[in-house]
Amino acid sequence: MEVSGSSSWFDTSEEAPAVRGAAKGIGMNTGIFPTTVIGWLAEMNRSSGGQAPPPVVVLDPVTSPSSRGPGEILMHRNRFAASVYLDGIAMAVVATGLAGRDPLTLQQAWLDGVARGDSLEQVVHDLRPLADANAPPALFAPSRTFTLTRF
């Protein structure tokens, strides 16, 4: 996750500085913004003829070594999640990531909770002890009891 001013985005450019600089130097767009995600969700909705249930979006960002303090990055992660949720195309947005501990443990806990049919509130609650205390997961959803079902 990258931040500049009040904007935040997921940077998908190469990690190698020379490759990264060359790609950005020729104007390659390597950023995923809330509007990018909303556009993808709208296209998925159109391609299903509006028949598929609204999706749940999981944001699991990492931060760059040059990123700002954890509080500021957390604020930007949550603002990104809220922007996607408030558009109304997603049923819910779960913001995880920024983990200072083992991110694979968080991902497995997410998958286990969903597989059990736990509510998103319960899944997020179960993620909290596994996450960095400075970057707890957040849930944006219309109902605390919302669960995922297979389509």
Q: Give 40: exposed, middle or buried? Use CB within 10 Å, 0-12, 13-18, 19+.
A: middle
Residue 150 phi, psi (nearest 5):
-75, 140
pLDDT of residue 149: 67
Question: Above 60 in pLDDT, residue 147?
Answer: yes
- Tens digits of per-residue pLDDT, 62-99? 765 555 677 788 888 899 999 999 988 899 999 987 76
Structure tokens at 71: 């509080």
Domain ranges of the chain: 2-140
pLDDT of residue 151: 44
Q: 23-27, 37-41, 77-81, 126-130 — which is least confidently predicted?
A: 23-27
- Give the number of other CB atoms < 10 A from CB of residue 137: 26
Could you give the C-alpha distances from 150 to 33, 114, 117, 127, 144, in angstroms and in order?
Answer: 28, 10, 10, 22, 19
Q: By C-alpha distance, which of 70, 73, 2 is closest to 33?
A: 2
Residue carrying structure tokens 């954890």: 70
